[in-house]
Amino acid sequence: MIEDEIYRSSSQFRLWSFTEASLKQLRATTNSVASDRVRAALRRAQDARRSATSSTTGTPAPGSDAENKAAEDKQIECLTPEEEQQVVDYYSEQIIQLGENYKPPLPTIVRATAIQYLRRFYLTNSPMTYHPKQIMPCALFLATKTDNYYLSLRQFAEGVPGQTSADDIIAPEFLVMQSLRFTFDVRHPFRGLEGGIMELRAISQGQGQPAPHFQPSQTPEDLRRALLSLSPSSATASTMNDRISRAHHSTREILKAAAQITDAYFLYTPAQIWLSAFLLADRPLAEFYLDTKLGGPIISSSNHDQNPLYALRTKLLTTLANCSALLQAYKPFASDEARMKTLKRIVGKKLYHCQNPEKANIAGQKRIPAAAAAAAAAAAGESGTSESEMERLAKKRKLERGSETTKDLFGGELVTQRTKERQMEGDQQQ
């Protein structure tokens, strides 16, 4: 089918489609790499602290190091891949909320793109390395740019609650883009839903065109009659037009939430996603629509050996059923107290302790590594970073140091002794 070939050329299919197994494996890998490094980083931080104290006091404490290390390793309890998933899901939902803060609210598609950016980002990064609350606004801002919904960074920052500055929002942008492998196009199921609904409406008015392979045998009138003879989905449905509108609306709601906050985009194609959601919204209607494309069970079972559509139909129905199940299982955090409780435990306590201290300051870390700044001072030029920008960043870091102590519910700034660590970080990078 030519439409499928077109989809195969998309970056979403080429780079961001996974089997359940490969998705799981990838997340496990990301988690284990991040856990190792969090432990190592925390250990280094502690060593540094210790040596700092010992150098100031002048009394080394030999022998106690090993014991301390062992004790601390026990203390550092990292997130599991499942817990990481919970965190990412939670912040995916937060993006929907954040979009409401603007007037007018950000378009659904911008928010959906941002959510997918966030989910793609956390396939190769762990929340322990980069806290989602730092990444989330950046992903949303990037989505406004890539989806042609222009807002200046300043305008955007006004909608972000808390003390997040414009610089904080934009700091991880490059990191996010790199994790997205510089693919910005996300193929959503929303527009496809509109197409399907339009076609159903056309059918209901006797204007439906049969699919090319049913062209001579079906007439618009056949299609209309078949549609009108469907068993009613509920007693309240008065007209076919209302029924389609209702199905349209509920499908859209599923696509706005369940499809975003599950792995649907990784496992299924947009066409499969909207049809799965449609099946949940009004099964007879959705099945009728599929039959107009792939032939009903009677047509196909009569001579399914010759009919390639039969094989496609069988496979597709299984896939759609799986996708429907995935979408149906979704429950928002707000309506799931137990889940919310677990999440608070994960984010509030556990993530607080296993946050990688060396990655907390994204802005300072990426833009100007300490050593690079030093080198640039000696031999200006080359790096391409202008003097003024360095000054700007230096100032910014000073400001950050001032606000280090503030903490909020989900983590806050963890890192103490930042100066020391930044020095170390610089040493490692160059």
Partner 1 sequence: MAVSPLVPHASSVAASSSNAGNKFENDSGTNSPNKTKRSSSPQRMKNPDREITEQLNDDVRHKYIKDKKLGEGTYAVVFLGHLRTDPSSFVAIKKIKVNAEYKDGLSMDAIREVKYLQELSHPNIIALHDVFSSKDQNLNLVLEYLPRGDLEMLIRDSNIHYGAADVKAWMGMLARGVWFCHENYILHRDIKPNNLLVAADGEVKLADFGLARSFADPYLNMTHQVITRWYRPPELLFGARQYSGAVDVWSMGMVFAELLLRVPFVAGNSDLDQISKICEAFGTPTEENWPGVTRLPNYIPADPNHIVPLQGRDFFLRQFPTAGPVGADLLMSMCTLDPRKRGTACQILQHGWWLAEPKPTKKQDLPRKVGGTKKMGDDLTRRGGELDDTSFKNAARQLDFGAARD
Partner 2 sequence: MPPARDIMAHRGDDDEVCPVCKSSRYLNPDMRFLINPECYHKMCESCVDRIFSSGPANCPVAGCHKTLRKNRFRKQTFEDINVEREVDIRRRVMQILNRREEEFDSKRAYDDFLEQREEIIANLVHGTDVAKTESDLQRYAADNMRSIRANQALEAQEASSFREQQTHEQELARLRREAARLEYENERKEMLAGREDVLSRLAAGRPGDAAAIAREGHKVLLKKSSARRSEEDRIRQKQAALRNSDARKAGQGALTTADRADESGDSGLIKGLKKIKTPEPEKPYDPFGGLIPNKRDYYTLRDHYPNSYLDPIRQDTRMQAGGYDLQEYYSRTLMEAFAGLGCFIDEEVSKREVTSTMGISRPVATEGAALAAVSSAGAPEASS
Binding site for partner 1 (CB under 8 A): 6, 8-11, 13-18, 22, 25-26, 29-30, 32-33, 36-37, 40, 123-125, 129, 141-142, 145-146, 148, 152-153, 166, 170, 173-175, 177-179, 181-185, 191, 366-367, 372, 383-386, 388-389, 428, 430
Closest to 361 (Cα-Cα) out of 129, 191, 161, 183: 129
Closest to 223 (Cα-Cα) out of 308, 295, 271: 295
Count of helix runs (H) and strand runs (E) in the chain: 25, 0
Closest distance between partner 1 and the C-beta of residue 148, in Å? 6
Nearest 5 degrees, angle CA 117-CA 408-CA 394? 75
Answer for which of 267, 368, 370, 414 binds partner 2 (CB under 8 A) is 267
Closest to 190 (Cα-Cα) out of 137, 279, 138, 113: 113
Size of the chain, expressed as the number of residues it contains: 430
What does the DSSP 8-state code read for residue 160?
S
Closest distance between partner 2 and the C-beta of residue 1, in Å? 4
Q: Does 221 interact with partner 2 (rule: CB under 8 A)?
A: no
Question: For residues 161 and 26, what is the distance between their CA atoms, to the nearest angstrom?
Answer: 33
The sign one gets for the Cα dihedral 242, 244, 249, 250 is positive
Q: Does 312 interact with partner 2 (rule: CB under 8 A)?
A: yes
Answer for which of 205, 301, 406, 428 binds partner 2 (CB under 8 A) is 205
Specify the residue, 210 or 297, whose C-beta has the smaller distance to partner 2: 210
Closest distance between partner 1 and the C-beta of residue 13, in Å? 7
Residue 163: which of partner 2, partner 1, none does it interact with, CB under 5 to 8 A by kind?
Answer: none
Residue 297: which of partner 2, partner 1, none does it interact with, CB under 5 to 8 A by kind?
Answer: none
Closest distance between partner 1 and the C-beta of residue 151, in Å? 9
Question: For residues 23 and 82, what is the distance between their CA atoms, to the nearest angstrom?
Answer: 12
Q: Does 14 interact with partner 2 (rule: CB under 8 A)?
A: yes
Contacts of 287 (CB under 8 A, 6+ apart): 279
Specify the residue, 14 or 69, whose C-beta has the smaller distance to partner 2: 14
Residue 76: which of partner 2, partner 1, none does it interact with, CB under 5 to 8 A by kind?
Answer: none
Q: Which segments of 361-411 does DSSP mark as H helices, in order?
A: 362-367, 370-378, 387-402
Residue 211: which of partner 1, partner 2, none does it interact with, CB under 5 to 8 A by kind?
Answer: partner 2
3-class secondary-structure state, position 232: coil
Residue 353: which of partner 2, partner 1, none does it interact with, CB under 5 to 8 A by kind?
Answer: none
Look-up: residue for tokens 């629509």? 289
Question: For residues 420 and 44, what is the distance between their CA atoms, to the nearest angstrom?
Answer: 11
Closest distance between partner 1 and the C-beta of residue 108, in Å? 12
Q: Which two tokens stand for residue 113?
A: 């793109």
Closest to 357 (Cα-Cα) out of 421, 310, 309: 421
Closest distance between partner 1 and the C-beta of residue 391, in Å? 12
Specify the residue, 47 or 199, whose C-beta has the smaller distance to partner 2: 199
Q: Does 120 interact with partner 2 (rule: CB under 8 A)?
A: no
Question: For residues 283 and 286, what is the distance between their CA atoms, to the nearest angstrom?
Answer: 5
3-class secondary-structure state, position 385: coil
Specify the stretch interacting with partner 2 by CB under 8 A; choose among 56-64, 151-159, 201-209, 326-334: 201-209
Positions that interact with partner 2 (CB under 8 A): 1-4, 6-8, 10, 13-15, 17-22, 181, 187, 189, 191-199, 201-202, 205, 207, 209-213, 215, 267-272, 274-275, 293, 312, 315-316, 319
